[in-house]
Amino acid sequence: MKNFAYSRADTVEGAVSLLSQQANSKFLGGGTNLVDLMRENIEQPDVLIDVTRLSPGKIISELPDAGLSIGAAVRNSAVANHALVRERYPLLSQAILLGASGQIRNMATTGGNLMQRTRCYYFYDEASRCNKRTPGAGCDAIGGFNRIHAILGASESCIATHPSDMCVALAALDATVQVQGNAGPRSIPMNDFHRLPGDTPQIETDLKPDELITAIHLPPLAFATNSRYRKVRDRASYAFALVSVAAALETERGTIKNVRLALGGVAHKPWRAYAAEKAMVGAKATAETFRRAAEEELADARGRGHNDFKIELAKRTIVSVFRELAEAGGMR
């Protein structure tokens, strides 16, 4: 690992100013992804700006519209275990608790989780060709071992997936990412925050180079009390999702009134399943409806060989989660 300097930001303005002053600097959250990438020489910043002391006193607070604000420096464990998150947004608490390990969740921050990078094996292997690491180099995952790779929204430049569980729940909840840069604060809808790879897989988010994530806002969503996060993976713990489903359901006399669905492990970004949601609203809450909606969402899915199984796995997981939600409280 190459040498680097460390500085600590005590205010949001100070952090943004430090980033602008120092070429090749990076924010440091819990360091659970960034330090690994530095050890592998994939990230080589000259300066690390520690932002874990930001968001003082604003850990998790209620917004005037009855939503919640979560500071970017809040640790993943604190979010998952917060009473209001567990009560109002159970899928978010479940998603975080199904990620990583207790020790990592105690270190990892909300901002860092949003910005964590793909787990594509070839991205971490300097001997492999990777367009994300070296634009224009090629992609060894295409035609290589691609069991964990994308089935939706991929390109011929990159078939990597986004590894976060938390972000899948945030996509289903229509969260917004609050950021601050030299031009002032702005708010980015979660579903626009991460990008599909296209020809520029090295650009992963809509965050500008001078911007800091300051908070996540969760809008009020009454029916999110009937929600679930299901993660399907190779091991029962300490493994990333092959496919995950974040879902919420509200029914009235057996008919679907409101629904939210996002998928993880299938694309370069958390995949909000708008086509499936559209197919479900107004239909009867039956297994047939859930399967039809899943078929619509996955109609354009494409496997690359080793990951072909994900297409059927995603459909079955969607049906299974919605059947549980319909039984657990959606059937009103």
Interacting residues toward ligand FAD by CB under 6 A: 26-34, 51, 72, 99-100, 104, 107-109, 111-113, 115-116, 163-166, 212-213, 240
Which of ligand SF4, ligand FAD, none interacts with 178 (beta carbon under 5 to 8 A by kind)? none
Binds 115: which of ligand FAD, ligand SF4, none (CB < 5-8 Å by kind): ligand FAD
Selection from ligand FAD, ligand SF4, none that 33 binds (CB < 5 to 8 A by kind) is: ligand FAD
Query: Burial, 282: exposed, middle or buried (Cβ in 10 Å; 0-12, 13-18, 19+)?
Result: exposed
Which of ligand SF4, ligand FAD, none does residue 270 bind to, with CB < 5 to 8 Å depending on kind? none
- Helix, strand, coil percentages (3-state) for the chain, rounded to 5, are 30, 20, 45
Token pair 């949001």 in the structure block, residue: 12
**Rounded to whole angstroms, how far apart are CA atoms 266 and 117?**
15
- Closer by beta carbon to ligand SF4, 90 or else 265: 265
* CA distances, 146 to each of 27, 149, 150, 267, 275 (Å): 31, 5, 8, 13, 26
Using the rule CB under 6 A, is 120 a contact of ligand SF4?
A: yes
Coil/strand/helix, residue 217: strand
Q: Which residue, 87 or 199, has its beta carbon nearer to ligand SF4?
A: 199
DSSP bridge partners of 75: 109
Asked if 139 interacts with ligand SF4 (CB under 6 A), we say: yes
Q: Is residue 267 close enough to count as binding ligand SF4 by CB under 6 A? A: no
Please tell me the count of residues contacting ligand SF4 according to CB under 6 A.
Answer: 14
Which phi and psi angles does 252 have, rounded to 5°? -135, 120
Determine the distance from the C-alpha atom of residue 58 to the mean position of all C-alpha atoms in its chain, rounded to a whole number: 22
Q: Which residue is nearest to ligand FAD (CB)?
A: 112
Extract the tokens encoding 118. 């793909």
Residue 103, both tokens: 């020790």
CA–CA separation, 203 and 132 (whole Å): 8
Question: Judged by CB under 6 A, does residue 159 bind ligand SF4?
Answer: yes
Binding string, 198-227, against ligand SF4, x = CB under 6 A? ---x--------------------------
Is residue 178 a contact point for ligand SF4 (CB under 6 A)? no
Name the binder of 113 from ligand FAD, ligand SF4, none, CB < 5-8 A by kind: ligand FAD
Alpha carbon 231 to its chain centroid, in Å, reads 13
Toward ligand FAD, which CB reaches closer, 195 or 257?
195
Tell me if 265 contacts ligand SF4 by CB under 6 A: no
Binder of residue 201, out of ligand SF4, ligand FAD, none (CB less than 5 to 8 A by kind):
ligand SF4
Is residue 6 exposed (0-12), middle (13-18) or buried (19+ Cβ within 10 Å)? exposed
| Closer residue to ligand SF4, CB minimum distance, 271 or 322 | 271
Q: Is 191 left (phi over 0), alpha (psi -120 to 50) or beta?
A: alpha
Residue 131 interacts with ligand SF4 (CB under 6 A)?
Answer: yes
Asked if 311 and 301 count as a contact pair (C-beta separation under 8 A), the reply is: yes
Binding site for ligand SF4 (CB under 6 A): 118, 120, 122-123, 130-132, 139-141, 158-160, 201
